[in-house]
């Protein structure tokens, strides 16, 4: 397993990170622990979660993912060998069960969130604490067009950073990161951190895959020049790039089969692009999912690729993608497909 620096720090994380948002919804606690065992045995030292997980979020399953991981950490030991990342939920009336629908990035909410996560994860500190999505209205979660809300109040970024600085000072957090953030937001966090001597974001967790390369447009240069590396989530487009949903197939138990709300990756353009990528992989004797993951992991601004699975075979297949190297012929063919059908699932 390859290891890479987290931002400008000396912390090294595996190039593959285990994403856990299925724990508590599609995976039982026993299955979650088996995944954690398998991933760490394969050399993964980086585990990502969030207080709102599992997904799709529901009041009855809220925080189960962190609880499962905490029980595993307590049973396993060796906490200092792992890099644990979690996230504080942002503003949104679609999660009324989180802090009575008043969740935002101010001091009371962030302090309540971190203390809850520490308790559930059964640890004294979080290695990487991330703001799950912007506190302000902007374009994320697939929204491309920016629409200004003139009367909207959002917590000032400097105020949020000062709360996070206190958590770092208290030893509850080692590093901070962003998620689902825009170029303006990322630069503002970095600018204010430098200006006021506050914690600097070491990473940004945004979607990136063969079906969604919008990160390259405005954020890749920031990630490179500012050493704020990408933690790429949805690298398989909710499993679409494995090819299992082609021709309208809906395998029993698969995420998109179970949860129709995940329509971001099921439009006609996505299906056409996916068919071309799957054909390319198979023509070169590659597993389509492994080719898609290897493409993401090789990107120069990617610090780690977040994989997720619901069964042992999927997990092992995804872990094995760390050993795949794509040659120039395949990379050039990928660029042709991308040019013909760019970013069908932004």
Q: Which residues pair with 18 in a beta bridge?
A: 47, 307
Q: Measured at the alpha carbon of residue 237, what is the angle toward residues 236 and 241, in degrees to the nearest 5? A: 55
Is 53 assigned a catalytic role? yes
Candidates 176, 96, 92, 103; CA nearest to 141 is 92
Catalytic hit among 53, 125, 245, 277: 53
Query: What is the C-alpha end-to-end distance of the chain, expressed in Å?
Result: 29
Measuring CA to CA, how many Å separate 35 from each of 128, 253, 256, 314, 320? 21, 18, 21, 10, 14
Q: How far apart are CA 54 and CA 66, in angstroms?
A: 9
Annotate 153-165 with three-state secondary structure: CCCCHHHHHHHHH
Phi, psi for 202 (deg, rounded to 5): -100, -10
Greatest Cα pair distance, the chain, in angstroms, is 55
* Token representation of residue 308: 């997720």
Q: Is 47 exposed, middle or buried (0-12, 13-18, 19+ CB in 10 A)?
A: buried
Pairing of strands 302-307, 173-179: unpaired
How far is CA 188 from each of CA 19, 145, 160, 184, rounded to the nearest angstrom? 27, 20, 12, 6
Tell which phi-psi region holds residue 141, choosing left (phi > 0), alpha (psi between -120 and 50) or beta.
Answer: left
Q: Where in the sequence numbering do the catalytic residues fall?
A: 53
């Amino acid at each position: 397993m390859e290891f890479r620096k987290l931002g400008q720090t000396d912390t090294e994380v595996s190039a593959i990170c285990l994403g856990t948002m299925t724990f508590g919804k599609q995976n039982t606690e026993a299955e979650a622990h088996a995944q954690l065992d398998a991933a760490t045995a394969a050399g993964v030292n980086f585990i990502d979660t969030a207080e709102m997980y599992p997904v799709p979020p529901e009041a009855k399953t809220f925080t189960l993912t962190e609880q499962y991981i905490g029980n595993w950490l307590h049973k396993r030991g060796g906490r200092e060998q792992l890099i644990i990342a979690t996230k504080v939920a942002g503003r949104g009336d679609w999660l009324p069960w989180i802090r009575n629908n008043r969740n935002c990035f101010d001091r009371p909410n962030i302090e309540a969130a971190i203390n809850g996560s520490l308790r559930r994860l059964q640890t004294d500190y979080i290695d990487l604490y991330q703001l799950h999505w912007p506190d302000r209205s902007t374009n994320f979660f697939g929204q491309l067009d920016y629409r200004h809300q003139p009367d909207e109040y959002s917590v000032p970024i400097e105020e949020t950073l000062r709360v996070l600085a206190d958590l770092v000072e208290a030893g509850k957090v080692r590093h901070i990161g962003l998620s689902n953030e825009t170029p303006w937001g990322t630069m503002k966090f970095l600018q204010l951190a430098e200006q006021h001597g506050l914690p600097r974001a070491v990473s940004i967790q945004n979607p990136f895959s063969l079906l969604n390369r919008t990160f390259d447009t405005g954020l890749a240069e920031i990630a490179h020049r500012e050493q704020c590396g990408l933690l790429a989530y949805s690298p398989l487009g909710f499993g679409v790039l494995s090819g299992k949903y082609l021709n309208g197939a809906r395998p029993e138990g698969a995420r998109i089969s179970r949860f129709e709300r995940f329509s971001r990756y099921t439009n006609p353009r996505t299906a056409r692009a996916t068919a071309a990528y799957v054909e390319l992989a198979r023509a070169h004797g590659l597993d389509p999912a492994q080719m898609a993951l290897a493409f993401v992991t090789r990107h120069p601004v990617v610090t780690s690729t977040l994989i997720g699975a619901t069964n042992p075979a999927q997990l092992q297949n995804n872990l094995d993608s760390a050993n795949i190297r794509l040659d120039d012929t395949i990379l050039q063919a990928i660029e042709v497909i991308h040019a013909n059908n760019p970013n069908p699932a932004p």
